[in-house]
Amino acid sequence: MLPEVMTTLAASGAGALVAAMATDVWQGARGGAVRLYRRWNGDQNAALEAQLDHHALLIQQADDPDQARRLLSGQWQLVFAQLLSEHPDAEADLRNLVETIRRELPEGGKQWVQTNIARDQGTVYGVQGGNVIHYHHRLPSAPGSTGEDGRQQ
């Protein structure tokens, strides 16, 4: 099982790659993905290149390209997760590919969707493109109030 940071990177790679499909930056993104695989898996890229081209065509022909991207993203996350599982040292290369694609995408292609669900008194802290700093302190009791045990505080 991949560490969470690698799983997240695989998802980021998938999101960036499918966001670039059927856009003006696609050829650069495609070339970057092919180079990444060639570096780590040798010249066994014919199937990968065919899959990249087919998926870009699916998005281009889709009635709802965003839905097509969402559906294809899971497949590419699996592909990148497998690469990272077999070649953990590919992390830096995949990270560079993601950063390059994101820089080249137009602002409209950088939309993120995040769903956070907390249950059973759980807490969720979600952030995109930044960070969260959370300090959890118990509020002081009001003067004259009683605690859970009924004693005055």
Question: For 32-89, how does the pLDDT look when each residue is reduced to its tens digit (9 = 90+)?
Answer: 999 998 888 876 778 899 999 999 999 999 999 999 999 999 999 999 999 999 999 9
Quote the DSSP letter at residue 144: T
Say yes or no to pLDDT of 125 above 90: no
pLDDT at 1: 66
In a domain, 99, yes or no: yes
Compute the distance between CA of residue 52 and CA of residue 22 in angstroms, rounded to an integer.
Answer: 11
pLDDT at 12: 93
* Cβ-based burial of 51 (10 A; exposed 0-12, middle 13-18, buried ≥19): middle
Compute the distance between CA of residue 146 and CA of residue 149 in angstroms, rounded to an integer.
Answer: 8
Compute the distance between CA of residue 21 and CA of residue 121 in angstroms, rounded to an integer.
Answer: 40
In a domain, 138, yes or no: no
**Mean pLDDT, rounded, of the chain:** 83
Domain total in the chain: 1
Q: How confident is the model at residue 151 (pLDDT cuts 50, 70, 90)?
A: low
First vs last Cα of the chain: how many Å apart? 49
In a domain, 117, yes or no: no
In a domain, 81, yes or no: yes
Range of the domain at 30: 4-110
Of 137, 12, 152, which is closest to residue 80 (Cα–Cα)?
Answer: 12
In a domain, 34, yes or no: yes
Beta bridge partners of 31: none
pLDDT at 39: 87
In a domain, 105, yes or no: yes
Of 18, 40, 37, which is closest to residue 29 (Cα–Cα)?
Answer: 18
Q: How many CA atoms lie within 13 A of 46 on its CB side?
A: 0
